[in-house]
Structure 1
C-alpha cells in the first residue's frame, strides 16, 4: 500500500510549501461568488483519504476523472465545461444530461487507450485530478506505478478521490466514502457546497418518496447483478449487490436482496476476474437478473437482443427471471448524483411497476441546481 504521509507531515508542520503541490489558476468571478469564503479569497483545503489534506491557492478550473462517478459529480456542480478527460468515454453517460439540458463536454479525452499514458496527464495539464491514486497504481493494465503517479502529482496537479464504486479490492484498506460523502468532498474542492447541499436535500426527499411506496419486504425480489456487454451472452462477470459500493446504491435503496448471498461466489475486483455461466446462474435462479454493459440501449432494444437471446437459449430459458421477463439493464458501474437519480427511478419502475409509474424526481429542479445552484 502506497504511503502518502509526506503531504500530511508537511501540513502538520505548518509549512506553506504544500501550496506548490496544488497551485491552480484563478477561479472565475462566478465560481468565487458561488463559494462561501474560507479564509483569504480562494485559498482552501480539502481532506480525503487516501491522499490526506490538499491545500489549494485558488479554485480549480480544469479537472479530469477516471471513474465517471466523479465526472458526474463535477457536472452536477455545474462544472462540465472544465472536464478535460475521463477514463472511458463510453461509460460517461451523457443522455441523462441531455434530458436535463445541462452543459457537458461532448468529446472528453479518454485516459484509457490500451493502458494509461503518463504523458497524457502532462498534455491535459488539469488543475486537479479527481482520481484515487491507488486505483491507478493497482490496476496492472494501466501501466503506471507509484513513482509515475507521484511525478504527475508533483509536476501537474494534485489527486483528490477515493475508489467508491465497489468495495471488493484488497488494496483498499483505508476509509471508504458513500456516494454523497464523496460528492461533498468534490464540492469542497471547487467551493460549490451550495450545489452539493441542494442535491443532498433533493436526494433525501427523493428517497423518502421512494421508500414510502416500496412493497413489503416479502414482495421484494432477490437479484443477480452481472456484467456482459454482448447481445448474445454466454458467460458473466458477477457483482455483489450486497457490496456497499456506490455503483450498487439503487439496489440497496430499493430493498433488493443479493441472490449470491451464501453461495461462495465473490464479486469482481482487480484480483478476481472470475466468470459464471448459465448453469451457475440457474443454480442460483434469481427472481431478477440485471446485466451491465447495455446502458446505450433503450428497454425495448435490450428486450429485442439480450432477453430475446436468453428466451431461445437451452439453459437460460429455464431461468425464472427469463420466464417472467425480469431481465433488466444493470445500470452504470460508476454512479454520481445525477446518474443515481435516473437509474434508481428506472429500476424502481421496472422492478415494482404496480408501485411506481410516473417520474420520481423533478427534472427542472435538478437542472436549476446544476445551472444556478438553487
Structure 2
C-alpha cells in the first residue's frame, strides 16, 4: 500500500480538529453495536429539524456525531474536505462549500448537469483528486492533507476492500479524522450500523461546515416540493410502475437495480409514488452478474423504464436522440409498453445528493404524470441558486 507511515514522520493532522476518545473508543475500527436487524437505539430518533452538533458557550468548538465513527470534535470549521461519493459532494455544493471539496472516488460517477440550471453554482470536477486508481492510495490522502475526510471508513475496508484497519488508523492519526456513512444503498451485509436518510446525512454535513441556515432553507424547499407533488399524484392504481436498470447506449441486455431496495439514490422515486416493476417477479437486485434480455423484459413488460449508465454526463436531449430511438427501432424493444407509450427515462445518478434529489423529483413528476403536472418546472431555480451562492437572505 502506498504511503507507508515511515515516509511521513511529521504528522500533518490539524491541531484544531480532534477525536473525542471517550465517545469513539473502538467505533471506527469495529462499527457500532446493533441488533439482528442492524438497528440501534438512535435509529428511532428523528434528526430532521434538530441540531446535530454541540457547541461550548465560551469558545468556537463544536462536535458532530455520526455512525459508524461516533463523535468528532472541531475547534473551527474545516476549510478543506475530502469526500468519497458524489452524494456528499452535492451536499457540500448545496451548502455553498464547493471550494472546500478536494476529492471524489471516481469522476465518472458524479453527475453535475443540474448545476447548469442554477446561476453561479458549479464545481471544478477536473480539479478534484480521484481517489480510485486501481485501488485507493494512502499517498493521495497525505497529498490532499484535508481537514476532515467525509468518508464512511467501511467504504475503504469493506465496500472496496483496499484498506485494512491499520491504514485507517494511520490516516486518521497523521492527517485528519473520518466522518460519514454510506447511504446510497441498503444492501451491504457489512453495513450493520445505522443508515441515514438523505436529509439526515445532509443535516450532519451542514453541522460539520456550520451551515444550518442554508440546510434549513433547502430542506424547506424539499418539503414544499414533496407536498406539492404528492397532493397531485393520481390514485395508486393509476400510477405506472417502473423498472430501474443499468443499460448502455445501445442496450441488448439490462442489469436490474431494485427501486424497493432502499437507499438515498431511490428516495426521489418513492417521493413520486413509483412502484417497483420487479416486485413479485423473482428478479433480484443488482448483484453484478444478473442480467435480463429483451424476452425476459417483455414478459414483465414494465410501465416505465429508468435506465442508468447510458453515458457519462448525457443530457436529456442526447438521451432522447440516441437511447430512445435505438429502443424504438429494436425488433423486441419496440414491443415494450414503456417504449410505445413514451415512458423511457434516464435513471438518475447512483450517488444522489439533495440537489440531485430536487431535480429528479421534478423530472419524474412532470415526466410520468403530464396531466397532473402540465408545467415544466416545479423548482424555483433562482431561489435555490441564491441560497447556495449568497446564503439565506433576511
Cα contact 2:113–2:315 (8 A) shared by 1: no
Match of 1:268 among 280, 286, 293: 286
TM-score (norm 1): 0.86
Paired with 2:257 and 2:57, the residues of 1 have a C-alpha distance of: 44
* Offset at residue 225 of structure 1 (A): 0.2
- The answer to whether residue 379 in structure 2 is matched with residue 349 in structure 1 is no
Shift of 1:122: 1.0
**2:315 pairs with 1:298:** yes
Give runs of aligned pairs for residues 1-374 of structure 1, distance below 5 A.
10-11=22-23, 38-100=56-118, 101-107=120-126, 108-140=128-160, 143-228=162-247, 230-268=248-286, 273-294=289-310, 296-356=313-373, 357-374=375-392
Residue 249 to residue 191, structure 1, CA distance change in 2 (3 Å): same
Structure 1 pair 234–173 and aligned structure 2 pair: CA distance change class (3 A): same
CA drift at 1:103: 4.4
1:273 & 1:50 partners in 2: Cα distance? 29
Contact 2:155–2:182 (CA<8 Å) still a contact in 1?
A: yes
CA distance in 2, matches of 1:278, 1:8: 55
- The CA deviation string for residues 208-264 of structure 1, in whole angstroms up to 9 with x for no partner, is 111122122121111000112x21112222111112211011110000100111123
Task: Give the deviation of 1:12 after TM superposition.
Answer: 7.5
Q: Distance in 2 between matches of 1:50 and 1:12?
A: 9
Distance change in 2, residues 1:99/1:155 (3 Å) = same
Paired positions, count = 343
Decide whether the 8 Å contact of 1:287 with 1:321 is kept in 2: yes
Shift of 1:282: 1.9
Tell me the CA shift for residue 190 of structure 1.
1.0
Q: For the Cα contact (< 8 Å) 1:168–1:268, is it kept in 2?
A: no
The answer (yes or no) to whether the contact 2:183–2:195 under 8 Å persists in 1 is: yes
Q: Distance in 2 between matches of 1:150 and 1:285?
A: 50
Structure 2 CA distance for aligned equivalents of residues 200 and 149 of structure 1 = 33
Q: CA RMSD in A?
A: 2.1
How far has the Cα of 1:169 moved from its partner? 1.0
CA distance in 2 between partners of 1:222 and 1:42 (Å): 50
Unpaired runs of 5+ in structure 1?
1-6, 14-34
Between the aligned partners of 1:171 and 1:277, the Cα distance in structure 2 is: 31
- Quick one: structure 1 residues 138 and 313, their matched pair in 2 at CA, closer, same or farther if it must change by over 3 Å? same
**Helix, strand or coil at the partner of 2:355:** helix
- Structure 1 residues 195 and 145: CA distance shift in structure 2, 3 A: same
Contact 1:116–1:143 (CA under 8 A) maintained in structure 2: yes
1:38, distance to aligned residue in structure 2 (A) = 4.5
Contact 1:36 1:191 in 2 (8 A): no
Query: Is the Cα contact below 8 Å between 2:244 and 2:259 reproduced in 1?
Result: yes
TM-aligned CA deviation for residue 36 of structure 1: 9.9
> What is the Cα deviation at residue 328 of structure 1?
0.9
Query: Normalized against structure 2, the TM-score is what?
Result: 0.82
* SS of residue in 2 equivalent to 1:47: strand
Secondary structure, counterpart of 1:242 in structure 2 = helix
